[in-house]
Every structure is written in structure tokens, then in C-alpha cells.
Structure 1
């Protein structure tokens, strides 16, 4: 590996030297981001982010095997003195065995691994992989390795940045950070980058980082244009494998498939129930179809004196920018399908409540106004059901406009008719729900509309 370039902090250059000597962890080369702090101890270090209540480490310590327990223990003690909770995310069996006396470890996923030297044999044995590569070639997809300088500025840098932006914009979840951010990239000259192009346009990109302690590579980012031909991803992986073979690489991974494998029951429940935000099972199937040689368990390690639930909350806080509540609000604002279902479910009792309400008390003595609102909400319910099935940007726009008007008119009616006749806290609660509900629904529907517009521009996403 080349010497560290200039232009980076002294801590980053020191960490790079440790990575060059002890970079066995898949996460080791991911720890050069500005958000990381480094805990140095002996001939090793722990890279972590401080969430304000916990130190969340990116993988095991970057150190020799016989130093893992000592450095891990020193990190735990330093966190306790801070005072902070702490944990190590994405550890493997090597660290789990070394720290079994002091740390608990819970499985959080599996990591597929390949030996690039056997990739040609894998292709010979699996016709589906060969067919995907043939499809990509037939559609004019060509993959080439690019020089890192091309990502600094120029047309290719703009094209790959735009590809990443479009890909992120179509995800159900907002962008995350920590070990899953898309950049910016430090030490680019030590990385490998491959682009897939069709008719001169970038349709896919693969970023690879080294794992020196395993003579290996980590295919950290694999992004495909939604309109790219079938086989584009396989073509990128094939190019990475072949280049790895040429450079003598004997170990390669595409990273963790979160919640895959023999994880605890609550995580299996999350895997199946949170599909509307992240397709955990789909990611595992994708990696499995590339025929890895093995799947290795990935763990969350944490002190035995620390609760598992609070530890998971600390991990989530490390991954989501702005805090859990803000991130949850951003997820809702994107209008995932399950939220539309939830809005429809909540509308049913609300419609029944309005139908049975007194027009004299709640609608200024105007029965026509009452039944107009009931009819409006019935039509809204029907619209949500249709939108859930058809995913029409035009329908989403109409519903968002209608609910926005509702959100503006309802507080006026409440001020004119309801607040002067307020009889107790229960009436106040109903008024608050009537005002807050449409406002929240409007945010969700405008988010839904924005996402559907983006998807309509990318026909491949609707299939």
C-alpha cells in the first residue's frame, strides 16, 4: 500500500499507519470520516462517534489479535469515565472470542465473503450469473476502472455524484451516516473505483476499499441507476472480482447484510415488519445470488453491565443524523406505503366519530357542514386506498392539496365554533386532534407525492 498522502490530519495519518499494519476489520478503512474520534492505546486504536450519551465504535479495535482485549477494555473504561455508555458495532468472531469475559455479543447480521481467485469457477458453475453478464453486454454496458483523480472534479465526478443523488432520492429512508454514508471519501488514491457506462452515460458505480490484514477488499458501495439494464450490478461485481484476482487479492466482501442469519427473535421481527423502510431480506437475497463462499456472523458487542435495549438505541443514534425523533419525522415525511395505510386506518374511527357528533356543538349548528366534512373524509379514505394500489403522482398531488386545505380551514372553524363552547379537557383533545391530524397528513402526502414524482421519472423503480 502506498504511503499516506498529505492533506489529512495527524490523527488520520496515524490511523492509516495502524490500518496498514493491523487492518483486519472490514470497517477499518471506513473510519477516516470527519465524524470519527480516535481512542489510541498502545499499538492500536478505536474509531468511534460520540452521540452525546455513548461512544459507538466502528468495528473492533484496529490492533493485533493479542491486543484486542486490552484495547477494548481500556476503551470501555475511558467511556465510563467520560461518562458515556459504549459499544462496538460490526464486530466478528475474532473480537467476540477475545473479549468474551468482559463483553456481550449479539448477532446483528451476516457478511458474505468470496475468494476472487475462484470467481471464474463460480461463473462456470452458475448459468444465471453468466446470463446476467451477457444481458449487460448485449445492452451495451461497459465497466472500467477509473483513476481516483477523476472523482475530484470534471464530468465523471458530476455524473457519479448525480447517480448517487438520484439513487438516494428514491429510497424509502433518508440518507444515513456512520458506516453507511456515501462520502466524501478520504485517501481516494488508496481506493479502487469502477464505473459502468452505457452510451457514454454512467449507469453504475462501485467503490472498493482495502482490508490489508486479510489481503482483501471490501466492495463498500455498489450503486445502480434505476434505469440501468439488467446485469449492470453483476457486471460491476465481475470487474471488481477480476481486478482483485489480478492484484493477488484472496478475500472479498460486499459488507454486512443487516438482520440476516440467526439473529435474536426481536431482530427477526424487525426484519419482516420494517420492510417498508428497508428491504433487509431483499439485500440478503441479492448478495446470495452472487454465490459467496461463506457467510460470517456480525455482532454488536457491549459491556455486560449495560442493557441491550439502550445499546441498540445508541447504535441507531450513531447511524441517523439529527437524532431519532428527527429521523423518524423525515421517514414519515417521505410517505412510505405503511404510513398511507395507517392514515386510512385512523380515518375510519374519525369518520364514525364525526357522523355521530352533534352539529349544534361541533359544526356551529349547521348539519350541512357536518355531512360535508364526513363526505370529504370518506372521499379521502377512498383516495388513500387507491393511492396505495396505483401510486399515481397526480392522485397524490390532489390528496395533498385537499388535506392542506383541510389543515388550514379546520383551525379557523375550531376558533369560531368550538373554542367558545369548550366544556372540558376531552373537548380540547378532540379539537387538538382535529387540527394536528390534517397538518401531519399533509406533510406525509406531500412527501408521498415528491417520492412518486421521482419514481415516475425512473420507470424501472415502478416495476
Structure 2
């Protein structure tokens, strides 16, 4: 038996680890702070593994947040811990540096999608490239939208009503995604920023921004919701207001987070990748809108003219498994 311990994730322990170990520059690392995550550690080892259980799988988030000389030891112990319980490990949202560690250890590693970021130092919405975006934002403000940064305690009930309306608009079988998307509230809320749009004093939409640590530090455009119907351009206007605030503060980067099935390129694959799984990712980009609206998500991100695309990876112990891949979405509450 391994001597490792698992427990409900402690926000303080995770925050210390992701602040300390940012060598891979994972822009989504703050999602490790989500409530509902679990934590794996080893005695006398500098680092943690964050994961969720989904049926007979442990879905690991973001690679080990650990000192470079501890990553392989921690990952080996975590895999052993899973095997002792007859569980399988699948790791998601690995950065390139993480992916190379898994590859050295004999895992099958494939690109699963990409994350996107905009440099804010020279960002502007001027020019013909952003004409449609400017028009959409202007229309929202002409329709009475006002945007302000606020504390969640002032709008908690309004946010719950927006969430309920947003989810109802998705259909009766829609479920709110978890794990690989952010949250509002909880112990980590003090580290996030919240921008809310109102019309006639009533909140109609919001965007929550999570801190990005390490390489390309800044904020990540994370959880975003709006009431169905109403004025076009609400979310764009909220985000443009946040960008103005961030730029005034000297924030260098705004990240738009991970979108599966996007940015796929054979040049990003490692030698240990599965060609069949690479084909599956391309197929889901073309035909997987019912599983995840990747095209819609990417279209929104591309409106802002991202400067950087970062490939992100999924890793399997042994062969790439569609069953293990499906359990990533199960951990996300997609089904």
C-alpha cells in the first residue's frame, strides 16, 4: 500500500502549491481551488495532485503541482494508489511541460485542445478587425447596460437567478459544468474578480475572472452567464469593461481558458500519441457540438484577437481509452 493520503482539497494547501510551482505556466491552475476537488500528497514530497473521482476513474487536473524533482515520484505514487483500488487515472489539461513528463514515464499523451490569451499592453479595439465587436458593445450600452466590478455578497441572489435562467435556456436535460470551469463563492472567492452588467438596476449578466499565476500572469475570463434574451452584446460589453480596468492596472495578460477540440495540429503531438485518438479529437471538432460547444466557444474567443494559443493535453496510463476520455466529461457533470 502507498503511504499517500487523500482528503477533501484544502484551499490553503492548493493555493500554496500552485503559487509555488508554476513552472508549466498553466493558465487554468486556479481551477484546482474548486470545491469538490480532492487532494493527493506524499510525506516529505513537495507537491500535490488534484483530482476528482468519476465511477472507476480518477480524473487528474493539470499535472502534479510539484517541484520538478518530485513530479515523477508523485505521479508514480498516485497511479499506484489508483491501481490499489482498481481505478484508472486519466489526466487532463496538461501543459506541454507536463505532457513531456508523462511521455517520459510511458503514458499515452495526446493534444485535446488549446487555451487562448490576449496581451493587454498594446490591446485596442480600434480598426476594421474589431468593427463588429465594437458595434455589438455599443449597442449593449445604448440599450442601457451598465457594468461595474462588485463583491459577490452584494449580488449573490441575483447571480443565482441569472444561473437559473441561463441553465433553463439550455434545455431540460442541461447540467451546469464543473471541475474544468470556475465557480463563484466559497473560500477561493476572495481571490477572484466579478464584473456584473445591469439594466435599469437589475443584473442581466456577469463574468468571473480567476487569477493566472506564473508565466503570462494576469486574469482568466472564467465563468460567464447571462439571462436569455435581452440586449445583444452584454457579455462583450462586460468583458471590454474588465479589459479597460485590467489595462489601467498594468495587467499583462487576459486568458480565455481551455476549449477542447480546438487548435489541433499534428505538430503539437508527442511521439507517444495515439493516432486513433487524434482522429477522434478532429472528429469531435467537426461533429461534437452536442458533447461540447467548442465552435461557439472558440468563435467568442477569436473575437478578441488572441495573441497566443497554448496546446493542452490529455494523458492515459497505457493505451488511449475512449471510456477514460468519457469519464473526464462525467467528472465535469456533463452527463
Q: TM-score range by the shorter chain?
A: 0.7 to 0.9
- Aligned residue number for residue 72 of structure 1: 75
Deviation at 1:64, TM superposition (A): 4.1
Q: Which runs of 4+ in 1 moved over 6 A?
A: none
User: For structure 2, which runs of at least 5 residues remain unmatched after alignment?
Assistant: 1-7, 266-277
Of 236, 240, 243, which aligns to 1:241?
243
With 58-67 and 237-246 compared, the bigger mean Cα shift is at: 58-67
Question: Which structure shows the bigger proportion of residues in helix conformation?
Answer: 1
- Aligned residue number for residue 285 of structure 1: 299
With 285-294 and 261-270 compared, the bigger mean Cα shift is at: 261-270
Matches of residues 108-147 of structure 1 in structure 2 within 5 Å?
108-120=112-124, 122-124=125-127, 126-147=130-151
Q: Does structure 1 residue 302 correspond to structure 2 residue 304?
A: no
- Aligned residue number for residue 332 of structure 2: 319
Structure whose CA Rg is larger: 1
Deviation at 1:311, TM superposition (A): 2.0
- 3-state DSSP of counterpart to 2:66: coil
- 3-state DSSP of counterpart to 1:187: helix
With 291-300 and 228-237 compared, the bigger mean Cα shift is at: 228-237
Q: TM-score, normalised by structure 2?
A: 0.83
- Aligned residue number for residue 18 of structure 2: 19
Cα distance between partner residues in 2 of 1:279 and 1:10: 29
Cα distance between partner residues in 1 of 2:100 and 2:294: 27
- Aligned residue number for residue 186 of structure 1: 187
How many pairs are equivalent? 307
- Aligned residue number for residue 41 of structure 2: 40
Question: Which structure shows the bigger proportion of residues in strand conformation?
Answer: 2
Q: Which has the higher contact order (CA 8 A, sep 6+)?
A: 2
- Aligned residue number for residue 282 of structure 2: 268
C-alpha distance 252-71 of structure 1, shift in aligned 2 (>3 A): farther
C-alpha distance 307-130 of structure 1, shift in aligned 2 (>3 A): closer
- Aligned residue number for residue 274 of structure 2: none
C-alpha distance 176-292 of structure 1, shift in aligned 2 (>3 A): same
- Aligned residue number for residue 28 of structure 1: 29
Matches of residues 357-372 of structure 1 in structure 2 within 5 Å?
none
User: For structure 1, which runs of at least 5 residues remain unmatched after alignment?
Assistant: 1-8, 151-155, 322-326, 328-463
Deviation at 1:181, TM superposition (A): 6.2
1:132-172 CA-partner distances (Å, limit 9, x unpaired) = 2222222221111002432xxxxx22111101111011114
C-alpha distance 251-81 of structure 1, shift in aligned 2 (>3 A): farther
Contact 1:129 1:234 in 2 (8 A): yes
